[in-house]
């Protein structure tokens, strides 16, 4: 999943893509580099980011999605927690809604997704951007993420969203200290098995990587991202959300081959 931030304050993009033509070119380039999905976002959700009014978010993402709808050969998701933005984005050509709030901010989003027939990504998080680290208190981060995401799935299904249209994201870096994010990556297989849904992981250029590589700016964390991406794929992630698509496609393909061989060897050992 290639990240297309149509915002002026992304933590990881040195050059904002607010101009629709620039954003379209960036998305087409990611597709050419091997992206399977493009995730279009009009509001930064980095720690401390200010909320964006719905009309402003709509003005950022809808023209880009509409322009890409006739040019991309791969699906688009819209990264939003707002029902009005999700409806407009799906009408414009998005087929997936990626909600970082797990319906906590706008429960009506569930009805909007159900009515649209779109697929859904539900991410684990706590608090808002300004308070998420205050909520990063866990006795067992993986078990608690499993429990809270399970509740999100039940709400989605009760709202009319088919379970087989739901993807889950454990929320690396969201309401999680570095140790929590590494803990989720280390036990991703346990999480995936318990939730029994496809898993999306988004480690790209996030601040938890500094725990291992030092205080590098976000744009210099692609090697660190590569390690986290490989670990996620080897542990069973179905989708990885990244900025540097061309480089991470190579990482994913190699990790996939290793995982396949491991599965073959395991199968032979059980036969």
| Ordered DSSP codes for 46-102 | STTPPP--HHHHHHHHHHHHHHHHTT-SS-EEEE---HHHHHHHHHHT--EEEETTT
Catalytic residue among 111, 206, 210, 268: 206
pLDDT of residue 9: 60
Residues ≥6 apart with Cβ < 8 Å to 155: 103, 107, 110
Both tokens of 197, joined, read 């849904």
Burial class (CB in 10 A: 0-12, 13-18, 19+), 262: exposed
Is 82 catalytic? The answer is: no
Q: Strand 2-5 vs strand 166-169: parallel, antiparallel, or unpaired? A: unpaired
Tell me the helices (H) and strands (E) count for the chain, helix number first.
Answer: 10, 8
d(CA 195, CA 150): 7
In this structure, the dihedral spanned by the alpha carbons of residues 54, 56, 62 and 67, taken in order and rounded to 10 degrees, is -170
> Is residue 184 within 8 Å of residue 191, measured between CB atoms?
yes
pLDDT of residue 200: 98
Bridge partners of 76, per DSSP, are 38
pTM above threshold 0.85 = yes
Residues ≥6 apart with Cβ < 8 Å to 217: none
Give the pLDDT of the chain (271 residues) as one tens digit per residue.
999 999 886 655 655 567 899 999 999 999 999 999 999 999 988 777 788 999 999 999 999 999 999 999 999 999 999 999 999 999 999 999 999 999 999 999 999 999 999 999 999 999 998 899 999 999 999 999 999 999 999 999 999 999 999 999 999 999 999 999 999 999 999 999 999 999 999 999 999 999 999 999 999 999 999 999 999 999 999 999 999 999 999 999 999 999 999 988 888 887 6
> Is residue 208 within 8 Å of residue 172, measured between CB atoms?
yes
Is 241 catalytic? The answer is: yes
Catalytic residue among 82, 197, 205, 241: 241
Rounded CA Rg of the chain: 18
Give all domains of the chain, ordered by start, each with its CATH number: 2-270 (3.20.20.20)
> Is residue 213 within 8 Å of residue 221, measured between CB atoms?
yes
């Amino acid at each position: 999943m290639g990240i297309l931030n149509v915002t002026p304050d992304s933590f990881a993009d040195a050059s904002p893509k607010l101009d629709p033509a620039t954003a379209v070119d960036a998305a087409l380039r990611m597709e050419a580099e091997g992206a399977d999905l493009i995730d279009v976002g009009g509001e930064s959700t980095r720690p401390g980011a200010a909320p964006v009014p719905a009309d402003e978010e709509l003005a950022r993402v809808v023209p880009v999605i509409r322009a890409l709808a006739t040019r991309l050969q791969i699906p688009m998701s819209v990264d939003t927690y707002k029902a009005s933005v999700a409806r407009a984005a799906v009408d414009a050509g998005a087929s997936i809604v990626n909600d970082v709030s797990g319906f906590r901010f706008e429960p009506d989003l569930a009805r909007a997704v159900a009515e649209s027939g779109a697929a859904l990504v539900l991410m684990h998080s706590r608090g808002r951007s300004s308070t998420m680290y205050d909520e990063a208190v866990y006795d067992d981060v993986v078990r608690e993420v499993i429990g809270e995401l399970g509740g999100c799935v039940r709400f989605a299904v009760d709202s009319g969203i088919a379970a087989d249209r739901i993807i889950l994201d454990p929320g690396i870096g969201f309401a999680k200290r570095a140790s929590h994010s590494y803990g989720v990556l280390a036990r991703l297989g346990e999480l995936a098995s318990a939730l029994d849904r496809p898993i999306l992981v988004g480690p790209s250029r996030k601040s938890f990587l500094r725990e291992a590589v030092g205080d590098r700016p976000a744009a210099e964390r692609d090697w660190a991202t590569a390690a986290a991406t490989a670990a996620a794929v080897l542990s069973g992630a179905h989708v990885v959300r990244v900025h540097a698509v061309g480089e991470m496609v190579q990482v994913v393909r190699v990790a996939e081959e290793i995982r396949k061989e491991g599965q073959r060897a395991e199968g032979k050992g059980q036969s």
